[in-house]
Structure 1
Amino acid sequence: MVGDLDDLNDLEGLDDLEGLDQLINEEDPKTAARYSEINYAVDVLTALSNTAVYLDAGHAGWHSVSSIVPRLLKAGVDRTTGFALNVSHYQTDAANTWYGRLISSCLAYADEGGDPADCADRNWSHRRATAWVRAHAPADPAELKHFVTDTSRNGQGPWAPEGSDHADPQPWCNPPDRGLGIRPTTRTGDPLQDAALWVKTPGESDGRCLRGGTGPEDPERGTVNPEAGQWFPDQALELVQNARPALG
Structure 2
Amino acid sequence: MRPVLIRGLTAAAAATMVAGLGIFAATSASAAAGCRVNYSVNQWNTGFTANLTVTNLGDPISGGWNVTWTFPGNQTVTQGWSATISQSGANVTATNPSWSTSIGSNASVNFGFNANYSGTNNAPASFKLNGTACTGSVPTTGPTSGPTSGPTSGPTSGPTSGPTSGPTSGPTTGPTGNPGPKVDNPYAGVKGYVNPEWKAKADAEPGGSRVSNNPTAVWLDRIAAINGTTDSSSNGAMGVRAHLDAALAQGAGYIQFVIYDLPGRDCSALASNGELGPNDLPRYKSEYIDPIAAIERDAKYQNLRIINVVEIDSLPNIVTNTGGQAGATAMCDTMKANGGYQQGIAYALSKFGAIGNVYNYVDAAHHGWIGWDSNFGPVADIMYQTAVLSGSVNNVTGFITNTANYSALQEPYIQPSTTVGGQNIRQSKWLDWNQYSDELTFAQAFRQKLVSLGFNSNIGMLIDTSRNGWGGPNRPTKASTSTDVNTYVNESRIDRRYHAGNWCNQSGAGLGERPKAAPAAGIDAYVWVKPPGESDGSSSLIPNNEGKGFDQMCDPTYGGNARNGNSPTGALPNAPISGAWFSAQFQQLMTNAYPPLS
The two structures share one fold, judged by TM-score above 0.5: yes
Q: Who is 2:580 aligned against?
A: 230
Matched residue of 1:72: which SS? helix
Provide the rounded CA distance (Å) in 2 between the counterparts of 1:238 and 1:227. 18
Matched residue of 2:461: which SS? strand
- Answer yes or no: is the 8 Å Cα contact 1:87–1:149 preserved in 2: yes
Cα drift, residue 153 of structure 1: 0.4
Matched residue of 1:70: which SS? helix
Q: Who is 2:498 aligned against?
A: 161
Note the alpha carbon deviations across 1:101-152, whole angstroms, 9 max, x for none.
Answer: 211211222239xxxxxxxxxxxxxxxxxxxxxxxxxxxxx82531111010
Provide the rounded CA distance (Å) in 2 between the counterparts of 1:223 and 1:160. 15
- TM (norm. structure 1) is 0.70
Q: Who is 2:522 aligned against?
A: 192
Matched residue of 1:55: which SS? strand
Provide the rounded CA distance (Å) in 2 between the counterparts of 1:233 and 1:50. 35
Matched residue of 1:244: which SS? coil
Q: Who is 2:443 aligned against?
A: 100
Matches within 5 A, 1:59-98: 59-63=366-370, 64-76=375-387, 78-79=393-394, 80-94=396-410, 95-98=438-441
Q: Which amino acid aligns with 1:177?
A: G
Q: Who is 1:18 aligned against?
A: none
Q: Who is 1:181 aligned against?
A: 512
Gaps of 5+ in 2: 1-308, 323-334, 411-437, 471-493, 540-553, 560-567
- Answer yes or no: is the 8 Å Cα contact 1:2–1:54 preserved in 2: yes
Provide the rounded CA distance (Å) in 1 between the counterparts of 2:525 and 2:356. 19
- TM (norm. structure 2) is 0.30
Change (3 A) 1:29 1:13: closer
Matched residue of 1:181: which SS? coil
Gaps of 5+ in 1: 15-26, 113-141, 163-168
Q: Between 219-228 and 148-157, report the one with greater CA deviation.
A: 219-228
Larger radius of gyration: 2
2:311 matches 1:3: yes
Number of residue equivalences: 198
Matched residue of 1:11: which SS? helix
Matched residue of 1:109: which SS? helix
- Answer yes or no: is the 8 Å Cα contact 1:146–1:192 preserved in 2: yes
Q: Which amino acid aligns with 2:366?
A: H
Change (3 A) 1:158 1:71: farther
Q: Which amino acid aligns with 2:462?
A: V
Provide the rounded CA distance (Å) in 1 between the counterparts of 2:312 and 2:409. 21
Change (3 A) 1:225 1:7: farther
- Answer yes or no: is the 8 Å Cα contact 1:183–1:196 preserved in 2: yes
Matched residue of 2:368: which SS? coil
- Answer yes or no: is the 8 Å Cα contact 2:312–2:403 preserved in 1: no
More RCO (CA 8 Å, sep 6+): 1
Q: Larger % of strand: which? A: 2
2:370 matches 1:53: no
- Answer yes or no: is the 8 Å Cα contact 2:536–2:578 preserved in 1: yes
Cα drift, residue 206 of structure 1: 1.2
Q: Larger % of helix: which? A: 1
Change (3 A) 1:10 1:43: closer
- Answer yes or no: is the 8 Å Cα contact 2:384–2:454 preserved in 1: no
Provide the rounded CA distance (Å) in 2 between the counterparts of 1:177 and 1:4. 24
Change (3 A) 1:225 1:67: same
Ranges of 4+ aligned residues in structure 1 off by more than 6 Å: none
Note the alpha carbon deviations across 1:3-55, whole angstroms, 9 max, x for none.
Answer: 235355342289xxxxxxxxxxxx9443x122111011111111112222110
Q: Which amino acid aligns with 1:213?
A: Y
Provide the rounded CA distance (Å) in 1 between the counterparts of 2:556 and 2:385. 34
Matched residue of 1:83: which SS? strand
Q: Which amino acid aligns with 2:558?
A: G
Q: Who is 1:123 aligned against?
A: none
Provide the rounded CA distance (Å) in 2 between the counterparts of 1:147 and 1:240. 26
Change (3 A) 1:99 1:47: same
